[in-house]
């Protein structure tokens, strides 16, 4: 088994013994096997967009098959391990470790798992069933790193997630949908540059700070998922709602749709 995966396996079982010494291997799926849960998003997506590998899990072996231990290995070598008591129903207890591996070795593992798990359509497998090996050739690493370009829109959205946007109070207080947005150069740290409004605000209303709120971009996108595709648009972009669930870049031949949320 890959040396980094061996460490993940060890730390997960160490955490289980520390937090739940009463749980034996007989209580766990496949006697405590560690599963690589790449079936949802895949290795490259998680690596480039979220800066970690897909999660690793040890499952309880009963009918509910809930997680007993979850581990997240980050691209900088940090390993966050979460232990769930009460057959998976209890709140997680967290223990943090660091694996012994440098940046190149972690990238090699990501490329190796992409080639030998994702590309071979081996999903959510026991890590003992993955191909043996510690070394990923340079060509595979280059191909893996080059694949980052396919995830750039999602990477840009992730970078914006914690930044703030100015939002008209009409959206939250009066029940209007976001129907208009403009992105200018940020004026302060943590600013995305976005202003979102309804589109029916007067100039006096929009210029009054009492009528404006600061939202995280993550909150904006949860409130209005249709903005996802345009949230990383360049500075100077003006967007309008053109349908119930669609925004487009403003142009003279497009009409803004202004509407309220359904009550």
Same domain? For 26 and 129 the reply is yes
Which residues 6+ apart lie within 8 Å of 130 measured at CB? 1, 5, 36, 113, 116, 117, 122
Domain identity same for 79 and 176: no
Residues 199 and 93 in one domain: no
Residues 120 and 183 in one domain: no
190 falls within a domain: yes
The pTM for the full model equals 0.76
In a shared domain, residues 124 and 183: no
Could you list the residue range(s) of the whole structural domain that residue 98 is in? 3-154
- Are residue 18 and residue 108 in the same domain, yes or no? yes
Q: Which two tokens stand for residue 165?
A: 């946007």
For the chain, 263 residues long, give each residue's pLDDT as a single digit of tens: 899 999 999 999 999 999 999 999 999 999 999 999 999 999 999 999 999 999 999 999 999 999 999 999 999 999 999 999 999 999 999 999 999 999 999 999 999 999 999 999 999 999 999 987 666 789 999 999 999 999 998 898 888 999 999 999 999 999 999 999 999 999 899 999 999 999 999 999 999 999 999 999 999 999 999 999 899 999 999 999 999 999 999 999 999 999 999 87
Tell which residue, 183, 188, 185, has the closest CA to residue 197: 183
Residue 67 CB coordination number (10 Å): 19
Same domain, 73 and 128: yes
Residues 27, 146 within the same domain:
yes
The reply to whether 150 and 170 lie within a common domain is no
């Amino acid at each position: 088994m890959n040396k980094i995966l061996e460490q993940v396996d060890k730390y997960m079982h160490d955490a289980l013994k520390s937090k739940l010494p009463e749980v034996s291997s007989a209580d766990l799926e496949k006697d405590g096997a560690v599963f690589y849960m790449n079936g949802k998003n895949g290795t490259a997506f998680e690596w480039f967009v979220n800066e970690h590998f897909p999660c690793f899990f040890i499952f309880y072996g009963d009918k509910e098959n809930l997680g007993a231990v979850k581990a997240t290995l980050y691209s900088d070598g940090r390993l966050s391990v979460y232990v769930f008591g009460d057959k998976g129903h209890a709140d997680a207890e967290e223990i943090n470790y660091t694996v012994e591996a440098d940046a190149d070795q972690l990238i090699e593992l990501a490329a190796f798992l992409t080639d030998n798990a994702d590309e071979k359509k081996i999903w959510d497998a026991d890590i003992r069933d993955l191909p043996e090996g510690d070394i990923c050739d340079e060509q595979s690493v280059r191909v893996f790193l080059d694949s980052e370009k396919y995830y750039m829109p999602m990477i840009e959205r992730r970078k914006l997630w914690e930044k703030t946007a100015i939002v008209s109070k009409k959206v939250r207080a009066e029940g209007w949908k976001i129907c208009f947005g403009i992105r200018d150069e940020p004026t302060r740290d943590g600013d995305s540059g976005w202003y979102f409004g309804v589109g029916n605000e007067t100039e006096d209303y929009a210029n009054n700070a009492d009528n404006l709120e600061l939202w995280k971009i993550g909150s904006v996108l949860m409130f209005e998922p249709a903005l996802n595709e345009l949230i990383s648009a360049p500075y100077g972009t003006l967007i309008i709602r053109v349908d119930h669930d669609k925004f487009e870049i403003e142009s003279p031949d497009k009409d803004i749709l202004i509407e309220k949320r359904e009550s």
